[in-house]
Structure 1
Amino acid sequence: MPPHCDSLDGPVVTAARRALEAGDVGVVLPFVPAQGETEVRAMFDAATNVRELNEDARNVADRLFFETVVRVHRAGEGAPYTGLKPAGLSVGPVIPLAERAIETGSPEPVANFLTGVLRDELTLRLEEVKALEAAKDRSITDARRYVGAMLGFGVYSHQVFQALQAPAHGEHGDADHEHAHQ
């Protein structure tokens, strides 16, 4: 996962910030698993009380709340918490396209981008197979290179197929969904 859920400008911290501003922990609770809700609510209450003292206390309380929400969110993903990342980190080309698709309701920019990347990767890998195929009869070493590229092309294709069928963030798989695509 790109550094997004744990960044200061990512969706989790953005929701946590909105929750503090609105005085409503419910704004951020959808970003944490149910088993982490009690901890997040307790930290929200503590942060809300401390924020009133002064600006320094507010900054510390906010940061602690953000860290708690992100840590609990990451635990719900089965991922380690490695600290908050600064805002402005590159999340690659796909996340902004996916966010725009959510805003517009159209998957076309994401689909077009991913299709282009996939086509380029498959072309490059298949060209390597073809180039190595021409020399495969020269020696065992050349034959091994060819076999490695040939098998690698098949495995890469299979891994892409599996990734296309993988559950989305936070989902644990749906037998009907998986069966429909096999």
Structure 2
Amino acid sequence: MINTIMEMTAIKGLARKAALGLAVGMLLLAPVAAEAHCDTMDGPTVKDALKAMKTDNVNYALKWVQPRYEGEVTRAFNLSMKVMDINADTRNLAEQYFFEILLRDHRAGEGAPFEGVKPHGTPIDERVKAADRSIEEGNLKPLEHLVDKDKQPELERRFQRVMALRDFDVNDLEAGREYIEAYVQFFKFAEGEEDEHHGVHGHGGHEALHGQE
């Protein structure tokens, strides 16, 4: 009983921080790029966090963080799963707690600041949306008028690598992170940032939009 109370106190503390982040986000509703998209309630990281909780498989979430953060994220996941079914309030607190830990550690792995979870409906850059649609539809038509023609061959190369890697086993974290790395390079190029990156979790990386079944 004492442990449960302590666990709930910890969850409530981080959930309050998450709620503050959502409130601040509502005041800053300017379109965001992909690196900020991962911090939104509509973003891919939260979607995979929810899928992890629904399926009781933390690997949907672990591909978002460096191996050194796996222990902390797994502990947060287990704690959230332990208390989330007490009632509706604890479920919401447990979810916010897990989102907060996962996103914070993901951003830490990028060497980027984490400013809290942004709310549902946060505007997203059109190129981010188009890159998302391209992967969903399996072609680059959504991006063809948003990327210069001379860059199309390189965009195609990066896109094909994403498509080749996307059907990974969710329990193969190495494969999941390899997919994410390819996604980062595709996404950054689509946004006009042509510099090569040194790994999704080490230098401003983005995330896979689709958790794999």
Relative to the length of structure 2, the TM-score reads: 0.55
Q: State, as a whole percentage, how many aligned pairs show the same letter.
A: 34
Write out per-residue CA displacement over residues 52-76 of structure 1, whole angstroms, 9 at most, x where no aligned residue.
Answer: 2111111101100011111011111
Q: How does 1:96-175 map to 2 (within 5 A)?
A: 96-115=129-148, 163-167=193-197, 170=200
SS at match of 1:164: coil
Aligned partner of 1:25 in structure 2 is 58
Write out per-residue CA displacement over residues 139-180 of structure 1, whole angstroms, 9 at most, x where no aligned residue.
Answer: xxxxxxxxxxxxxxxxxxxxxxx932432871769xxxxxxx
Distance 2:116 2:37 in 1: 12
Aligned partner of 2:211 in structure 1 is none
Inter-CA distance 171–54: structure 2 relative to 1 (3 Å threshold)? closer
Kindly state the Cα deviation for residue 114 of structure 1 after the two structures are TM-superposed.
2.2
Match of 1:75 among 90, 93, 108: 108
**Structure (1 or 2) with the larger CA radius of gyration:** 1
Kindly state the Cα deviation for residue 113 of structure 1 after the two structures are TM-superposed.
0.9
Q: For structure 2, list consecutive stretches of 5 or more residues without a partner in the other structure.
A: 1-31, 152-191, 204-213
Aligned partner of 1:16 in structure 2 is 49
1:36 pairs with 2:36: no
SS at match of 1:114: coil
Aligned partner of 2:117 in structure 1 is 84
Count of residues paired in the alignment: 129
Q: Considering only aligned residues, what root-mean-square deviation do their CA atoms show, in Å?
A: 2.4
**Letter of the aligned partner of 2:80 in structure 1?**
A
Kindly state the Cα deviation for residue 108 of structure 1 after the two structures are TM-superposed.
3.7
Greater relative contact order: 1 or 2 (C-alpha under 8 angstroms, separation 6 or more)?
2
Relative to the length of structure 1, the TM-score reads: 0.64
Distance 2:49 2:68 in 1: 17
**Letter of the aligned partner of 2:84 in structure 1?**
R
Kindly state the Cα deviation for residue 14 of structure 1 after the two structures are TM-superposed.
0.6
Q: For structure 1, list consecutive stretches of 5 or more residues without a partner in the other structure.
A: 119-161, 174-182
Which structure has greater helix proportion? 1
**Letter of the aligned partner of 1:85 in structure 2?**
K
Shift >3 Å, 4+ stretches: none
